[in-house]
């Protein structure tokens, strides 16, 4: 099947592959319309061989149905679910920028860490998106019970304009929408799992809070405190490793921020922040209680300097 030719017939011109994985890939594309209308979009495709497997096909469709109504400035939007032959695809918002993992790698390369206030700002924007998703209801007002379960730097996009957006709800949990094997398999990226995910327990929104804590700690320190040489060691660290004093590890982290990160990483979920809104409030009070703090524009200026070679 000539995918490019068929996409052209439905008014999408595939330009290049943005990312590729075992089960699918994401392309940048031009959506064509009448009178020279053109919009740059991202197209996520599931490979034909996986489309034939019920689990993968149903989860891909479930992800599209789930995110279709998640319309928020801090979540990558999905516009359309389609099918060509036996191959499913999603048309999504294209974020012209990079992911947080790439920003971390760029800093590690130069032996630097992200400025503290900008690190906190990035995570606060993810909390805004999570708070919206966690509180999303269906058309009858019933809580969907969305848990992302895969909050990690690769799934956090930053646009050149400084917008921060959470993406990839492919293994999210939501009532009646997503294939779910909680209690049987571990879902998520090993070094960003919550303790309950490691133990294959049923999760709620507090699992995403723990992952936010891991991401925030990594932005502050430049390293993931739980990551081991292999998954089993990483899992054991998440379950048992003493949580360090972040102020001792990096003296520029004050006690207030140390307390925020530490509370995110409480293994007892009842001791964590109970909602993304609660964590968001703490982060924003930290950022803005003394006056003017970080903004999208400030983040944009900073990342354009960090990626000066790519931005130009």
Distance CA 98, CA 228 (A): 26
In terms of domains, do 28 and 123 share one? no
Average pLDDT, the chain: 90
Banded pLDDT at 311 (limits 50, 70, 90): low
Q: Quote the domain boundaries for residue 194.
A: 97-311
Which of 63, 93, 123 is the C-terminal boundary of a domain? Answer: 93
Which of 36, 67, 93 is the C-terminal boundary of a domain? Answer: 93
What's the structural domain count of the chain? 2
Query: Is the Cβ–Cβ distance between 246 and 258 less than 8 Å?
Result: yes
pLDDT at site 185: 63
Banded pLDDT at 121 (limits 50, 70, 90): very high
Q: Given a cut of 90, is residue 12 above it in pLDDT?
A: no
In terms of domains, do 30 and 140 share one? no
pLDDT at site 7: 66
In terms of domains, do 111 and 70 share one? no
H/E run at residue 233: helix 231-240
pLDDT tens, position by position, 179-238: 556 666 667 789 999 999 999 898 999 999 999 999 999 999 999 999 999 999 999 999
Say which residue, 180 or 114, is predicted with more confidence.
114
> Pick the catalytic residue: 35, 150, 168, 254?
150
Cβ count near 23 (within 10 Å): 16
Share of the chain above pLDDT 90, in %: 64
Banded pLDDT at 14 (limits 50, 70, 90): confident
Q: How far is CA 99 from CA 22, 53, 120, 140, 167, in A?
A: 19, 29, 16, 35, 10
Q: Is 163 a catalytic residue?
A: no
Most confident range (mean pLDDT) of 7-11, 214-218, 287-291 is: 214-218
H/E run at residue 10: none
In terms of domains, do 301 and 283 share one? yes
Q: For residue 33, give the CATH number of its domain.
A: 3.30.200.20
pLDDT at site 71: 94
In terms of domains, do 301 and 160 share one? yes
In this prediction, residues 258-264 reach a mean pLDDT of 98
Distance CA 124, CA 132 (A): 13
Q: For residue 167, give the CATH number of its domain.
A: 1.10.510.10
pLDDT at site 256: 97
Q: Given a cut of 60, is residue 98 above it in pLDDT?
A: yes
Task: For the chain, give the longest Cα–Cα distance.
Answer: 62
Task: Please give the model's pTM, rounded to 2 decimal places.
Answer: 0.92
């Amino acid at each position: 099947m000539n995918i490019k030719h068929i996409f052209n017939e439905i008014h999408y011109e595939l330009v290049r592959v943005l990312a590729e994985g075992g089960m699918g890939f994401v392309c940048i594309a031009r959506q064509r319309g009448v009178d020279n209308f053109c919009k740059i979009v991202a197209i996520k495709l599931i490979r034909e061989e996986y489309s034939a497997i019920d689990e993968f096909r149903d989860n891909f469709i479930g992800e599209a149905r789930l995110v279709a109504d998640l319309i928020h400035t801090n979540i990558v939007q999905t516009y359309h679910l389609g099918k060509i032959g036996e191959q499913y695809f999603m048309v999504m918002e294209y974020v012209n920028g990079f992911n947080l993992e790439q920003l971390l790698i760029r800093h590690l390369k130069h032996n630097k860490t992200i400025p503290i206030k900008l690190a906190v700002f990035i995570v606060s924007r993810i909390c805004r998106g999570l708070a919206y998703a966690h509180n999303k209801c269906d058309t009858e007002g019933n809580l969907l019970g969305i848990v992302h379960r895969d909050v990690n730097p690769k799934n956090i996009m930053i646009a050149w304009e400084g917008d921060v957006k959470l993406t990839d709800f492919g293994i999210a949990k939501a009532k009646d929408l997503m294939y779910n094997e909680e209690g049987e398999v571990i879902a998520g990226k090993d070094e960003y799992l919550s303790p309950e995910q490691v133990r294959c327990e049923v999760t709620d929104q507090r699992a995403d809070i723990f992952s936010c804590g891991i991401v925030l700690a990594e932005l502050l320190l430049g390293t993931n405190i739980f990551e081991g040489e292999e998954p089993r060691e990483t899992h054991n660290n998440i379950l048992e490793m003493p949580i360090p004093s972040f102020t001792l590890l990096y003296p520029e982290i004050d006690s207030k921020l140390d307390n925020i990160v530490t509370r995110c990483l409480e293994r007892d979920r009842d001791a964590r922040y109970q909602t993304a809104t609660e964590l968001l409030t703490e982060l924003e009070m930290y950022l803005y209680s003394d006056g003017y703090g970080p903004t999208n524009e400030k983040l944009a200026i900073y990342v354009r300097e960090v990626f000066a070679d790519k931005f130009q």
